Amino acid sequence: MWVMEATNIIGRTSKIPVPASEARAVTVRAGQRVRVVDIEGGQVGDVFAFAADDPTEYLSASHTRTHTSRLFPHVGEAFVTDRRRPILTVAADTSPGAHDMLIAACDPERYLALGADAAHASCAGNLRTALSQLGLRTDVIPQPVNVFMRIPVDASGDLRWLAAASRAGDAITFAAEMDCVVVVSACPQDLNAINGDRPTPMEIEIL
């Protein structure tokens, strides 16, 4: 079931808090902008985007890499869907610029492997919950856009997992290229370094 909710966000800025280790889903019209804000700094956000009229079309990391010939788009470049249509463009970025598009969303299996309980909050679970709060669901967990996540790649292809370097108030802004549903999960990962000392809140602003 994929139902567009009425939104009350047109013509002014709407701010949606994303509590630490939770996610929120928002409906966005083509031409609107979505800012993802790291409130306290050092926090990774898993961002997902789905076409508003069809949840089987979604932002695809691999198609975006193919489209841009980049590991992550520059400001001004677009993320595309699994049908190769632009869905979001990077409009602005006040962070130091490290973002990841290599790593899968954390999920119960990930936490089990790290020695935690399968009931640990996860970005995959958060995505499902956030969509359900808009009356929506998806059958797949797309590979997310991990904003502020710092996964440098060395010349041999090895990845490192570093603490996010974003500062309090840093934000990345996306312009919607089509009507879409955007989900931001304030990543609950607390078993490796990526979120620094602890998971913290984020905010979604719709402009």
Evaluate whether 35 touches 202 at the Cβ level (below 8 Å).
no
Evaluate whether 188 touches 120 at the Cβ level (below 8 Å).
yes
Closest alpha carbon to 78 in 93, 66, 92, 68:
68
Within 8 A by CB and 6+ apart from 187, the residues are 21, 43, 44, 45, 46, 106, 123, 146, 149, 194, 195, 199
Instruction: Return left, alpha or beta for 132; rule: phi > 0 is left, psi -120 to 50 is alpha, else beta.
Output: alpha
Q: Which stretch binds a copy of itself (CB under 8 A): 7-15, 30-38, 103-111, 126-134?
A: 103-111
User: Per rule CB under 8 A, is residue 143 in the interface with a copy of itself?
Assistant: yes
Instruction: Lay out the site mask for a copy of itself across 151-180 (x = CB under 8 A, - = otherwise).
Output: --x-x-xxxxx-------------------
User: Per rule CB under 8 A, is residue 128 in the interface with a copy of itself?
Assistant: no
User: Per rule CB under 8 A, is residue 130 in the interface with a copy of itself?
Assistant: no
Task: Report phi then psi at 140, rounded to 5.
Answer: -125, 155
Output 33 or 65, the one with its CB closest to a copy of itself.
65
User: Per rule CB under 8 A, is residue 69 in the interface with a copy of itself?
Assistant: yes
Q: Which stretch binds a copy of itself (CB under 8 A): 7-15, 28-36, 79-87, 165-173?
A: 79-87
Q: Which residues are near a copy of itself by CB under 8 A?
A: 60-63, 65-66, 69-72, 82-84, 102-104, 107, 109-110, 113, 139-141, 143, 153, 155, 157-161
